[in-house]
Amino acid sequence: GAVVSQHPSWVICKSGTSVKIECRSLDFQATTMFWYRQFPKQSLMLMATSNEGSKATYEQGVEKDKFLINHASLTLSTLTVTSAHPEDSSFYICSARDFRGGDTIYFGEGSWLTVV
Amino acid sequence: DAKTTQPTSMDCAEGRAANLPCNHSTISGNEYVYWYRQIHSQGPQYIIHGLKNNETNEMASLIITEDRKSSTLILPHATLRDTAVYYCIVRVGSGGSQGNLIFGKGTKLSVKP
């Protein structure tokens, strides 16, 4: 399958600071990427759809000014958690849509964020 | 909300076939059935997907009933490394604008020696 990579794998930041997570499609171009968050023992929750060259589409209840998404190229989307608080600590996962040979979504390895 | 229903958990003996059921009685004609799995603390891994025909790849087989209201994922020879949460998801595929994946709770498969 296609390869999607996230960086960093884990990050610890102080409360009130901002942290950026990168999502890259390594072997294909992705016009559409998705961002999820997952709390312990819960399922993945879709946060937003990231579209290359346009504004992201946020799910209901997700603050767009807090979770900034930028999809400036066909292989990179970034999620910036602004003014992070401890309740933002979570597992953040991105995925990318691969249209080669059909339409399949592949996920990155995930990024653990801990806000202290 | 997820449009599928799966058992919360299942056990399987190592080396035996694992059959994971999924109900999707409200599936639309243009929606595919996708299966992913998530091993603890990792991103979900794509397994297989299908529309109406049965599908097989190197990881698993997908059996979809004729009325498309349910399906079964088959891992032919389960190993301990197949222990994971398995998600069955219906999704508009092949270029549909609503291409995102909505996750339910999935089935926690425990493969035991």
Give the chain A residue nearest B95 (alpha carbons). A103
Residue B11: the pLDDT is 97
Percent of chain B with pLDDT over 70: 93
The pLDDT tens digits of the residues spanning A8-42 come to 999 999 999 999 999 999 999 998 999 999 999 89
Residue range A88-107: mean pLDDT, rounded: 92
Neighbour-count burial for A70-85, b at 16+ CB within 10 Å, e otherwise: ebeeebbbbbebeebe
Q: Which residues of chain A make contact with B90, given a CB cutoff of 8 A?
A: none
User: Do B112 and B12 meet the contact criterion of CB atoms below 8 Å apart?
Assistant: yes
Residue B95: the pLDDT is 53
Confidence band of B99 (pLDDT split at 50, 70, 90)? confident
Confidence band of A2 (pLDDT split at 50, 70, 90)? confident
Residue contact A102–B94, C-beta within 8 A? yes
Sheet holding A67-73, edge to edge: A4-7, A19-25, A76-81, A67-73
User: Do B47 and B37 meet the contact criterion of CB atoms below 8 Å apart?
Assistant: yes
Residue B94: the pLDDT is 55
> CA-CA distances (angstroms) from residue B67 to A29, A87, B6, B61, B70?
35, 44, 18, 18, 8
Confidence band of B97 (pLDDT split at 50, 70, 90)? low
Provide the 10 A C-beta neighbour count for residue A29: 13
Q: Which of B101, B107, B108 best probes binding to A when mutated, by most A CB atoms within 10 angstroms?
A: B101
Q: Which of B37, B103, B107 best probes binding to A when mutated, by most A CB atoms within 10 angstroms?
A: B103
Per-residue tokens: B75: 């891992």
Q: Does A106 touch chain B (CB under 8 A)?
A: yes
Confidence band of A58 (pLDDT split at 50, 70, 90)? very high
Confidence band of B100 (pLDDT split at 50, 70, 90)? confident
Residue range A44-52: mean pLDDT, rounded: 93
3-state DSSP helix/strand/coil percent for chain B, to nearest 5? 5, 45, 50
Q: Which residues of chain A make contact with B49, given a CB cutoff of 8 A?
A: 104
Alpha carbon distance A30, A52 (integer Å): 8
The DSSP call for residue A84 is -
Which of A67-71, B74-78, B92-96 bottoms out in mean pLDDT, i.e. has the lowest? B92-96
The pLDDT tens digits of the residues spanning B6-47 come to 999 999 999 999 999 999 999 988 899 999 999 988 999 999
Number of A–B residue contacts, CB under 8 Å: 56
Residue B113: the pLDDT is 95
Return phi, psi of residue A86, to 5°.
Answer: -55, -30
Provide residues of B within 8 Å CB-CB of chain A.
Answer: 34, 36, 38, 41-46, 49, 87, 93-96, 99-106
Nearest in space to A33 (alpha carbons), one of A43, A18, A22? A22
Confidence band of B3 (pLDDT split at 50, 70, 90)? confident
Confidence band of A105 (pLDDT split at 50, 70, 90)? very high
